[in-house]
Amino acid sequence: MNGPSASANVATRILGIDPGLRSTGFGLIDTLGNQLSYVASGCIKTGEGSLPERLKIILDGIREVIATYKPDQAAVEIIFVNVNPQSTLLLGQARGAAICGAVSCDLPVAEYTALQVKQAVVGHGKAAKEQVSHMVQRLLALEGAPSSDAADALACAICHAHGSRGLAAMAGIGTRKRGSRLTD
């Protein structure tokens, strides 16, 4: 696998995805050894329309991002169950469309909880969104703060870059390898 720890001389491009039905954030970083470099970020906006139409926009948008920036790996935030079950179901479908976009382009996909992402980026799992955004801006030396969804996606990519060099890589935690079947 061409992970960040595979070689100190080869950059790995990671696509972070923050799924949402109205706005799916994406962020791309390159890792070379311990260095993180910003590549691009933005949002896939679905607008109004039927659920299937909006899911197709997410799927196609992720595929377009992958075709444009050619990442080596993807990292997606795991959704949490919130108070409104209907919202959770809709968000889960948006997440599924984003994951399908990545795996249909043969990208290995890692999944991280919001707690793991915040821990990796800020240093504690209870960080506020503003703290995450600020640390993303500092870690990637950005001149300005990215949008909230893009910042969350970049944070997910940073989490993967950090985690794939640590215990998660050794244990195979949080990753899906090409051609493998996962069972619980």
Give residue-wise pLDDT tens across range 60-80.
Answer: 999 999 999 999 999 999 887
**Would residue 149 show up in a list of annotated catalytic residues for this protein?**
yes
Q: Please name the helix (run of DSSP H) or strand (run of DSSP E) that holds residue 59, with its range, or none.
A: helix 51-69
Residues 6+ apart with CB under 8 A from 127: 118, 121, 135
Residue 88: what pLDDT?
A: 87
**Would residue 72 show up in a list of annotated catalytic residues for this protein?**
no
Residue 127: what pLDDT?
A: 87
**Strand runs labelled E in the chain:** 12-18, 23-32, 35-45, 73-77, 109-112
Residue 9: what pLDDT?
A: 76
Residue 17: what pLDDT?
A: 97
Take residue 28 and report the two structure tokens written for it: 């791309």
Closest by CA to 12, choosing from 27, 40, 33, 41, is 33
pLDDT in tens, the chain (184 residues): 444 444 557 889 999 999 999 999 999 999 998 899 999 999 999 988 999 999 999 999 999 999 999 999 999 998 876 778 888 899 999 999 999 999 999 999 999 998 999 999 998 888 888 999 999 999 999 999 899 999 999 999 999 998 855 433 433 444 443 343 333 3
Name all domains of the chain by residue range, CATH numbers in brackets: 12-171 (3.30.420.10)
Closest by CA to 20, choosing from 86, 77, 101, is 77
Catalytic residue among 72, 77, 111, 152: 77
* Cα separation, 152 vs 148, whole angstroms: 6
Catalytic residue among 30, 72, 111, 149: 149
Q: What is the pTM of this model?
A: 0.84
Catalytic residue among 18, 30, 72, 152: 18
